[in-house]
Structure 1
C-alpha cells in the first residue's frame, strides 16, 4: 500500500486563529491618542470618536488659540478657509479645553454651520 504524498499545507485553520487574535487585539487597543498640545478635555458619558483618513484636528486651548493638526496656530478666518477647501466630506475632530471660553467653541460651530459642514466629532474624556 502506497501513502499519498501531501504537497500543500492547509492554511485555513491558521487564518482562523489569526483573525481571532486580530479581533482580540483590536478590541483591547486604544485608537485615540490625545494630542501633543496639552488640553484638559471635558468629560462625557459617550464613546470616543473614530478617526477617519480625511480629517482635520482642531484644538482650542485654554487661552482661546486655535491649532490645526497640533502644529499650526490659525485664526478663525484661516480655519474657515481650510474647512471650505477640505470640502464637506472632511471630518473635523475638535479638542477643546474645558476651561476655554465658550465663545471660542461657538465661533467654530458658527463657521461649520455657515459652510453647511456636518462632519464633526468632539473629543472628550470618559467620566470616572
Structure 2
C-alpha cells in the first residue's frame, strides 16, 4: 500500500520577479528622464537687474516685432527684417570676431512668448553662450 505524506501549501510570495521588473523600470526612467527635459539655457542674474555699464561693449540686440520679423542691430540692415537663417549666420560671424560681445533679446510687447523663446533658441544654436533680456526703463505708475 502506498502512503502519501501530506504536504503543506507554500505560503511565501516569491518577490524576485518583482525586483527584476522594478530594476528594469528604474533603468528605463533613468535613461528617459534627461531626454524629456527641454528648455533654453538662460543665465539669470543673482541680484536685481541693472543697466549695462557705460564702459562695456555695445551689445548685439536681436529683436522680434509683433509680426514675428527678426532684426539685428549689426551692419547696414538694422531696420530691415531678416530671416532666421540670416540672423543666425550674422550672429555666428560676429561671435567669431568678438566672442565676448553681450547679446540681448528685444521682444515687442505684443509678440507671443513662443516667438521670443524661438529667437533665444536660434541664438543658442548660433553659439551665443548667454542671452540677456532687454526691458523698458520707463517707470509705470
Higher-strand-fraction structure: 1
Aligned pairs for 1:4-19 (under 5 A) are none
Cα drift, residue 57 of structure 1:
1.9
- CA–CA distance in 2 between the matches of 1:66 and 1:50? 26
Determine whether 1:104 maps to 2:108.
no
- The equivalent of 1:82 in structure 2 is 90
- Which of structures 1 and 2 has the larger relative contact order (alpha carbons within 8 angstroms, sep 6+)? 1
Displacement after TM superposition at 1:50 (Å): 4.3
User: Take 1:86 and 1:63, find their aligned partners in 2: how far apart are those partners?
Assistant: 26
Equivalences, count = 84
Q: Within 1, Cα distance between the matches of 2:61 and 2:51?
A: 14
Correspondence for 1:122:
133
Instruction: State the TM-score, normalized to the length of structure 1.
Output: 0.53
Q: Deviations over 1:1-60 (max 9, x none)?
A: xxxxxxxxxxxxxxxxxxxxxxxxxxxxxxxxxxxxxxxxxxxx7333447435322221
- TM-score norm. by structure 2 comes to 0.49
SS at match of 2:111: coil
Asked if 2 retains the 8 angstrom alpha-carbon contact of 1:48 and 1:124, the reply is: no
Q: Look at both structures and tell me which one has the larger radius of gyration over its CA atoms.
A: 2
Is the Cα–Cα contact under 8 Å of residues 60 and 66 in structure 1 kept in the other structure? Answer: yes
* 1:65 aligned to which of 60, 64, 69: 69
Gaps in structure 2 of 5+ consecutive residues: 1-47
Q: 2:50 aligns with which of 41, 47, 52?
A: 47
Separation (CA, whole Å) in 2 of partners of 1:54 and 1:83:
14
Let me know the Cα RMSD of the aligned residues. 2.4
Offset from partner CA, 1:47-100 (integer Å, 9 cap, x none) = 334474353222211111111114231111111101110113222222111210
